[in-house]
Amino acid sequence: MDENAIHQWMLECFGPIQGEMAWKQFSQLPEEMRQHIIAQNGNQLPDPAQVKAMLSAFTMGGLNTPGDMQKAAEDGPINVKLAKALALNQVQSKDSESVVSAAQAEQVSKAMSEANLWLDAVSSFDPASGKPDALTRASWVEESLASWAKFAAPVARSMNQALLQVLGSRFGNLPEGEISGMFAGPIPIPIPEGLKDPKTLISLLGNTAFAIQLGQAAGEMSSEVHGSFDQGIALSKNSAGGLIAQNAAEYAASLELDPEEVLNFLALHEAAHARLYGSVPWLMPRFEALISKYARGIDIDLDAMQDQIDQAVGLDPESMAGAINLGKVGMQDTEEQKEAMNSLETLLALVDGWVDCVVWRAGMAHLPHLEQLREMMRRQRAVGGPAEHTFETLIGLQLRPRRLREAADVWEQLTVRSSIQERDALWSHPDLLPQLPNDNPTDISVIEETGTPDSGKIPTHHADSQSSSQANQPQSAPSRIDWDAELNKLLDDDAHSGDKGATNNEDQPGDTGEDNHPKQD
């Protein structure tokens, strides 16, 4: 490769004006250094399209001036503006509705209003302040992405530090003002003053690459979620929450159930979460503290990152997004992280279990397919969707309640044995929350003091708990079928035996029998 080829490459990468600036900068280098650059690179210069992709990513993220780029590198580990722009672009490519129609807004408002009316009878918490939103996928991104970025920041910071260590060795001790190794070799490019420090450029590369991951994940997830509390935590600034009208309608269609009934069920979940978070001021700060505690302890395998970078197509943000993937370069959890994870999972289970309990009580007289919808929601929360898994990779942990059934069972037993007010009073302080059982669902201090539920009262929700309760009843107790327990038993068998239970799910969801399952894809 000669100097003419390098000149042409710069013009193709940066355009006629910036390309000539780059060439002028290159030409002013000492002859010995120019020859060293040419000999070192040979024919290894990257495709100009890669360079344009990096510059385009910076521009999309609002990095239009040198000052913008330097500020982004200094402000934090994630370019949130870029992540949001990429997510919204992804939303637009998914046949998403750009606005909520007046009819959809009225349906969401009605469903949330009815949900709060039904919840008044089964919860001592007041409705959350404010008016619930009827969201589009794009407005969900606008509302929630800043929260996701906050949770992901510790991970991104660790990634950026690791990226600096790995790529730093490729720069070497260079004179001030020279850029080396950015594009598979030390080719000077027209980087303005303030951005000539390789550390600054690597930070910019890192927070841009992580923003690409975050934005793409948010765009994908926007078509999976139903509202602002789907992950069990508060993501929106609106404390009253909101529902994504398009997703709710598509969810009802996939289940082949009445759209109004499905919307009412989703509204119950959203409104119940909103009440809990609106009435328990310590809850969200505790989640944030646990998430941060876990994420801060994440270690990066530098050798694994080096391997990922070596396999990358180029050193542009799009290629780097694959290299700084926690699922590929993260190391084993520490004891401190395991403790934080256990606390987080327990708290999530208690939140989702309380919501499950009050939704069942509030909807049992109004929703014919409540049991089927409830079971589908439990499964979705336990398993998670593809985009949800991507988010978990970004923040370093799973935001899914692994013990939702046990937690719902505990809250139901507390409701039966005490009162709604006494049950909800346990949320007044984290130390008052009930402990989840270890193996036996009745192994909980509050339950031990009060005994098992009477057979004539509302049954508990877990199959094992139901059988335990029946075992302690007198032989003369009347026999009856708990459809929820039977359904859970089938599903538990299904979890241990592959898809065996799926072959028994032949009833059509349009029927009104209590043991029918909604159709699943």
**Residue 17: burial class (beta carbons within 10 Å; 0-12, 13-18, 19+):** exposed
32 assigned to some structural domain? yes
369 assigned to some structural domain? no
Q: Tell me the C-alpha distance between 261 and 114, whole Å.
A: 11
50 assigned to some structural domain? no
The winner for highest mean pLDDT among 184-188, 302-306, 438-442 is 302-306
Predicted confidence band of residue 252 (pLDDT cuts 50, 70, 90) = very high
348 assigned to some structural domain? no
What pLDDT is recorded for position 144?
92
109 assigned to some structural domain? no
Mean pLDDT of 429-458: 54
**Alpha-carbon distances, residue 150 vs 146, 157, 255, 291, 336 (angstroms):** 6, 11, 34, 10, 21
What pLDDT is recorded for position 111?
97
12 assigned to some structural domain? yes
- For residue 443, pLDDT beyond 50: no
Predicted confidence band of residue 2 (pLDDT cuts 50, 70, 90) = confident
Among 391, 68, 14, 51, residue whose Cα is nearest residue 207: 68
Percent of the chain with pLDDT over 90: 35
The residue that leads in pLDDT, 270 or 197, is: 270
CA angle, 485 then 487 then 493, to 5°: 100
- For residue 201, pLDDT beyond 60: yes
**Residue 327: burial class (beta carbons within 10 Å; 0-12, 13-18, 19+):** exposed
267 assigned to some structural domain? no
**Alpha-carbon distances, residue 386 vs 294, 330, 391, 393 (angstroms):** 22, 19, 9, 11
What pLDDT is recorded for position 153?
86
What pLDDT is recorded for position 38?
66
39 assigned to some structural domain? yes
The residue that leads in pLDDT, 376 or 501, is: 376
The whole domain housing 28 covers 1-45
Overall number of domains in the chain: 1
What pLDDT is recorded for position 26?
72
Q: Tell me the C-alpha distance between 412 and 419, whole Å.
A: 10
What pLDDT is recorded for position 492?
54
Strands 242-244 and 133-135: parallel
- For residue 176, pLDDT beyond 50: no
Q: Which residue has the tokens 């508060």?
A: 234
Q: Tell me the C-alpha distance between 405 and 390, whole Å.
A: 25
What pLDDT is recorded for position 455?
30
Predicted confidence band of residue 71 (pLDDT cuts 50, 70, 90) = low
Q: Indicate the average pLDDT of the chain.
A: 75
What pLDDT is recorded for position 373?
95
Q: Tell me the C-alpha distance between 278 and 270, whole Å.
A: 12
